[in-house]
């Protein structure tokens, strides 16, 4: 893992969320692990966040998206998209050939 990822993960304010795991049956790469940051953690100022390698989403939203099981090329209608974290995650899963509305 990149040094900046090692630094972030060694931060005592970052905790692994072991119960939130992507399904092995998903056809697209998904995060191999989810982590929780305490409120005071400056995640948005990290190099990983600025580079787009780290994304903030609450655990319940991530679990809902993983349960959906969206696949590349699919069309998904998101009726609960505000503020947009689930929508962005679904868009990553369906890829450029898919549609998220």
- Residue in the block written with tokens 């399904």: 23
Is residue 11 pLDDT above 60, yes or no? yes
Please give the pLDDT value at position 20: 80
Put simply, whether the predicted model's pTM sits higher than 0.75 gets the answer no
Q: pLDDT tens digit string along 29-42?
A: 555 567 888 787 77
**What per-residue confidence (pLDDT) applies to 77?**
94
Are the beta carbons of 12 and 41 closer than 8 angstroms? no
Does 1 score more than 60 pLDDT?
no
Residue 10 has pLDDT above 70, yes or no: yes
Which pLDDT tens digit goes with each residue over 47-66? Answer: 777 777 777 888 888 889 88
* Mean pLDDT of all residues belonging to the chain: 79
- CA dihedral angle for residue 90, residue 48, residue 37, residue 95, rounded to 10 degrees: 10
């Amino acid at each position: 893992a990149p040094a900046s990822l090692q630094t972030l993960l060694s931060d005592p304010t970052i905790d692994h969320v072991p119960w939130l795991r992507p399904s092995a049956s998903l056809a697209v790469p998904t995060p191999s692990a989810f982590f929780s940051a305490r409120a005071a953690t400056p995640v948005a100022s990290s190099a990983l966040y600025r580079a787009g390698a780290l994304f903030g989403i609450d655990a319940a939203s991530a679990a809902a998206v993983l349960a959906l099981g969206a696949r590349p090329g699919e069309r998904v209608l998101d009726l609960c998209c505000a503020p947009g974290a689930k929508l962005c995650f679904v868009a990553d899963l369906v890829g450029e050939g898919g549609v998220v509305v």
